[in-house]
Amino acid sequence: MEEMNNFLFAGCDTVELAKKYKTPLYVMSEDYIIERCAEIREDFLEKYPRTMAVYASKAFLTKEMARIIKREGLGMDVVSGGELYTAIQVDFPMDKIIFHGNNKTMEELELAIKNNVGRIVVDHIEEIDLIEAIAQKHDKKVNILFRISPGLDIQTHKYIQTGQVDSKFGIPLTETTIERAVTKALNMKNIELLGFHFHIGSQLLENDTHIKAIRIMTNLMKDVKDKYGFITKELNTGGGYGIHYVEGERRKSLSYFTDSIMEEVERSCQEYGLERPLIIIEPGRWIVGEAGITLYTIGAIKEIPGIRTYVSVDGGMPDNPRPSLYQAKYEAVVANKVDEEPTEVVTIAGKCCESGDILIWDLKVPQVERGDILAVLSTGAYNYSMSSNYNRIPRPAVVMLKDGKDRLIVKRETYEDLLRNDL
């Protein structure tokens, strides 16, 4: 039977999905997303009192994704007015929203404060004045956390490090800077300082850097208590938990990270005589990364004898800029030949007018031909959300799978969509 030779994802035949919806096509598994959310509830929220989990929506956000997170009872972290507006449009509980960003505009802060977001994470000291002014105008009390740069260098690509000393994110961990920030916040009438936030980077496969950061942050909590009598009510430990992209990487269980975080928080708080605050985590990629694949149709095949064979697909950099941005690596299968033995090594090239538009170098595949369907794995995070219209290529559709059934959640863009705002 021909369909037995096709790649199944979340119980669905990917070749049939490609026929039905055309390619390129983003395919997401709701079943997988729900499994990860259940793991968060069981191994973190229900296991430890005074905890909160929010989905880092920059990884993948559509109205339907926001509805799923809402149904699963998690909060959401947003980093722009557009992400916040998406949440507002599906009546997401605003008290469960955390608003991040290193340069929030006045319009974005206005939208957040008018809609009563649960917390704003302050990234620089001047932002306190902006929040206070808007909060006064609307007669609101705004909860804030300070994003602290804990000064840790970590083993990941430099473009996804965020907690080092030289970072565009957060308030540097120097005595005078922290002193100014805390003093200023405590003197504001319309601001309630709840605590601190840190995020050290993305695609982390070990927990040691989180533990180091916790030690630094609990030391800060002790300092501000001693100097100002300020009791830290909340500590947001960020996310960054890694997933499987290629051989040698493996998604760890949530508890691998959260158990060590909670143990270190409890130990350090006890040592410093502090009450343990509410602990927040912000997984994004960990929830959706492996929940997604992207389907392409193979077109031109160009063999350069003795050097390389380029196999081109009908997408590339516009639907997945990560390989071009920071050399991200992926695995893939030829969906209609999944049971066939790999016999050759090829390079998967995108269709953009860019030499850097290469999706995968040196992929082992069976003999391929024009019209074959390629499934690139683990594309649920930072693919759709980072997509563009470079070369005036319309963005792909997004399909959600649940219980072996497919449904369209984002329509494929048309050429008319590309021109919609042109004058």
Query: Dihedral sign, CA of 30, 332, 239, 42?
Result: positive
Instruction: Round to whole Å and give the CA distance between 148 and 181.
Output: 11
Which residues are registered as beta bridge partners of 313?
A: 298
Spell out the residues 6+ positions from residue 182 whose beta carbon is closer than 8 angstroms to its own: 146, 193, 224, 227, 228, 230
Report pLDDT for 161.
44
- Burial of 366-389, coded b for 16+ CB within 10 Å and e otherwise, reads bebeeebbbbbbbbbbbbbbbbee
Instruction: Round to whole Å and give the CA distance between 224 and 233.
Output: 12
Name the catalytic one among 12, 37, 269, 353.
353
Q: How far is CA 243 from CA 165, 216, 328, in A?
A: 26, 26, 12
| Active site annotation includes 353 | yes
- Burial of 219-257, coded b for 16+ CB within 10 Å and e otherwise, reads ebbbbbbeeeebebebbbbbbbbbbbbeeeeebbebbeb
Report pLDDT for 296.
98
Report pLDDT for 160.
41
pLDDT digits (tens, 9 = 90+) for 73-115: 999 999 999 999 999 999 999 999 999 999 999 999 999 999 9
SS3 297: strand
Report pLDDT for 202.
85
Average pLDDT, the chain: 94
SS3 393: coil
| Domains in the chain with CATH codes | 2-28+290-419 (2.40.37.10), 30-289 (3.20.20.10)
Report pLDDT for 3.
45
Tokens representing 143 are 């909860």
Report pLDDT for 167.
60
CB 109 within 8 A of CB 87: no
Low pLDDT (below 50) residues in the chain: 1-3, 154-164
CB 163 within 8 A of CB 213: yes
C-alpha closest to that of 66 among 50, 32, 44, 90: 90
Spell out the residues 6+ positions from residue 423 whose beta carbon is closer than 8 angstroms to its own: none
Report pLDDT for 153.
57
Angle formed at CA 143 by CA 137 and CA 146, multiple of 5 degrees? 115
Report pLDDT for 172.
77
Tokens 């993305």 belong to 202
Using CA atoms of 337, 361, 375, 284 in order, give the dihedral in degrees to the nearest 10.
150
